[in-house]
């Protein structure tokens, strides 16, 4: 998590590298990251906290964590003096990825139960 946070807060790119990216790639990265937080979090909860996973609050806790983490990163990008900026569309991509992960987990809960 420290690695992802560092990548989110510090700028490592130059002007030339921006030509290699296609439009809105960063939004897809935000979406995918938060989707994976939910999926990997569900697998972790199942193994490490089965009582929490079996209850109804497991997915809600994962959603709360993902959304809070995304908002914290955007807030830090807004207040820190590095070459990063907070964007509404990043927050929306974070929320969309997290809620899509929650829906996928809810719809495929039996599949997650079978994974070891």
What is the pLDDT tens value at each position of the chain, 116 positions in all? Answer: 666 665 566 555 555 455 456 777 888 989 999 999 999 999 998 888 888 877 678 899 999 999 999 999 889 888 877 677 778 999 999 999 999 999 999 888 878 777 76
The confidence score (pLDDT) of residue 111 equals 80
10 Å Cβ neighbour count for 78? 11
Distance CA 116, CA 103 (A): 21
Quick one: tokens of 73? 């990163």
Distance CA 63, CA 33 (A): 13
Quick one: tokens of 115? 């994974």
The confidence score (pLDDT) of residue 41 equals 92
The confidence score (pLDDT) of residue 49 equals 86
């Amino acid at each position: 998590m420290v690695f992802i946070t560092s990548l989110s807060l510090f700028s490592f790119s130059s002007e030339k590298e921006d030509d290699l990216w296609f439009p809105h790639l960063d939004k897809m990265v935000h979406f995918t990251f938060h989707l994976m937080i939910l999926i990997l979090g569900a697998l972790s909860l199942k193994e490490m906290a089965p009582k929490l996973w079996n209850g109804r609050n497991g997915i809600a806790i994962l959603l709360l964590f993902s959304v809070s983490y995304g908002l914290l990163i955007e807030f830090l990008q807004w207040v820190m003096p590095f070459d990063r900026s907070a964007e509404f569309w990043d927050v929306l991509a974070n929320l969309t990825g997290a809620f899509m992960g929650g829906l996928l987990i809810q719809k495929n809960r039996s599949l997650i139960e079978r994974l070891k």
